[in-house]
A and B are shown apart, each in its own frame.
Chain A
Amino acid sequence: MKILVAVKRVIDYNVQVRVKEDGTGVVTDNVKMSTNPPDDNAIEEAVKIKEAGKAAEIVAVTVGEEKAQETVRKALAVGADRGIHIKVDGIVEPLAVSKILQKIADKEKPDLIFMGKQAIDDDCNQTGQMLAALLNWPQATFASKIEVKDKMLEVTREVDEGLETIEVNVPAIVTCDLRLNEPRYASLPNIMKAKKKPIEQINSSDLGIDTKPRIEQIKVEEPPKRKAGIKVANVAELVEKLKNEAKVI
């Protein structure tokens, strides 16, 4: 089997995001960037499947500006075999990303496409499902467990009510939850080796996909701030406050 894994470069999850004063977005200059966390789970799962002898090749793909390549390079360092970087500047909405990935899937013909269930920057949670629709493949979203069987996967999904188990025939799309696995760190020798692995660069315009945003971002602002609270000295005071001041118990 061949697995395509899509990864996105986002502001690191530990960074306290700040809104720009002019309301046009959030501050990204001199801010630490990383791979979107559940995309790391997607790569890890693909590598585990390959290590178990059930996949022959892993291709890591990203869509974004020049520096987005770093995420592909990181995927190569933890076990992907080669990379593809589709170069686009500016905001690319999930619909455009899924159209680009559809073109890549048409060319690469993977059996499985993995990605994180949601990007932690725009919090859209769309790309995997959209790509599945465009390819007319089944989708196993929010996966916390994947079992590879003969030409099919059994996937446990995290849903509001608890867990749901489905079977999907390949080719299929899986979007990964953070609980799917524990992503490994790249070792120094593997980081060195990854530098020699090939990354193919493609301009999005060469794919004939219109990436012009369909959603106009009018303004970005700080959320309303909570007013500062107080520290209580002990449990008795806490219960008294909840009962008589906040009146919630």
Chain B
Amino acid sequence: MNKYFKVSLTLATIASGAALLIGLMNLATVGAIKTNKENKIKSGISKLYPNVKDYVAHDFHTFDEEGYDANYSLPEYPHLKTAYVVNIEGGTSPGYVYSTTGKNAYGQVDLLLSIKEGKIEKMFVVTNTESYGPTLEENYIDLYNYGLLEHGLEDVQCGATYGAKTVKEQCDDALAHWNANFGKEAE
């Protein structure tokens, strides 16, 4: 009896000490983690729109509650996370940025997409854990940003076919949502 008591007491002490330590570490880092994510989005948007003044985020999970778009439903656009309406310094019309996410058998690609006049203007990579990630970025996303992809988003010769497909799906979702919502406003 005494032995079992000792064993369980030791285990309980160590486990609770561990939990306490982890909890303290969590308190110390939770703020930094949150600001990290915000900073990443911020730097991405300022890459897409160098003259950004400020932006309003419309999170798709809370879209309906805000009453922004009553007809909107998430299953239609499975790749969209957040839409940002960006006010540009000295500009008359706002810019639009979509935060999107996509997955395939090789990993995950998260992007920020800026839309101008019904077209994807530029892409910014937030996270890219795809196996062919570097190839995808170099031969597809960077080239698109430079305007060097010959057939637009249809290019499948970049060496990362499935990654390119994931990116294209995200772009299609963003464009469809833009046309259904912000595009009408712009007209």
State yes or no: do A and B come from one complex: no
